[in-house]
Structure 1
């Protein structure tokens, strides 16, 4: 799998309550998107970014990290071939991504994703 970007997914109880700390104090002032259950903020100066997640809209768990790849189908096949636990199957989501969740051997849930063109 070729990784093109990694984004930390921080589980929070309330997006609005958490937003002030991460946008104000940490300076992640650019809101890239907000779907009501997940929002991404970044620094306009450095490009650092973080996703705040209250739940997942279609998967049973909140991932710890999102890993973007240029070939999510190949990554899914490889994860299955290697015997990793698939937490959420390969899915075309209504918000414009194709993704699956896989559990790393240490228990971490990873969202492997590609934005549809």
Structure 2
């Protein structure tokens, strides 16, 4: 497994209200993901990203970050072998992402995901 991208997930009560700060003030582009509970904002060069999340639509807990990997099945197997708590099982979500949530030993929950082409 190789990590390809990391997005910080910030919990906000309302994405529409937050948009003026992230897009207007910070000048980040709104890369709408076409879901009402999560969106991503990026710098013009694409090097800086942040995701805003009101609540996760299918997982029992929210994650602090989304970690994109090149092989989510391998990541899942390794997490289980290491004895890490799986918070949300390996699932292909309706929007096409294959992912699972794992709790790090420090208590933080991470969304480990692979986007299908």
Place the TM-score, normalised by the shorter chain, in its bin: over 0.9
Q: Is the deviation greater in 45-54 or in 10-19?
A: 45-54
Q: What is the SS of the residue equivalent to 1:51? A: strand
Deviations 1:4-62 (A, max 9, x none): 11000101111111111111111112424241000111112353111100011100111
**Equivalent position of 1:89 in the other structure:** 89
- Give distance in 2, aligned partners of 1:22 and 1:34: 17
1:1-117 to structure 2, matched below 5 A, reads: 1-117=1-117
Q: What is the SS of the residue equivalent to 1:22? A: helix
Residue 66 of structure 1, CA deviation: 0.4
Normalising by structure 1, report the TM-score: 0.94
Q: For structure 2, which runs of at least 5 residues remain unmatched after alignment?
A: none
- Give distance in 2, aligned partners of 1:58 and 1:30: 23
Cα RMSD (Å): 1.1
Q: For structure 1, which runs of at least 5 residues remain unmatched after alignment?
A: none
| Contact 2:30-2:39 at 8 Å conserved across structures | no
| Contact 1:86-1:102 at 8 Å conserved across structures | yes
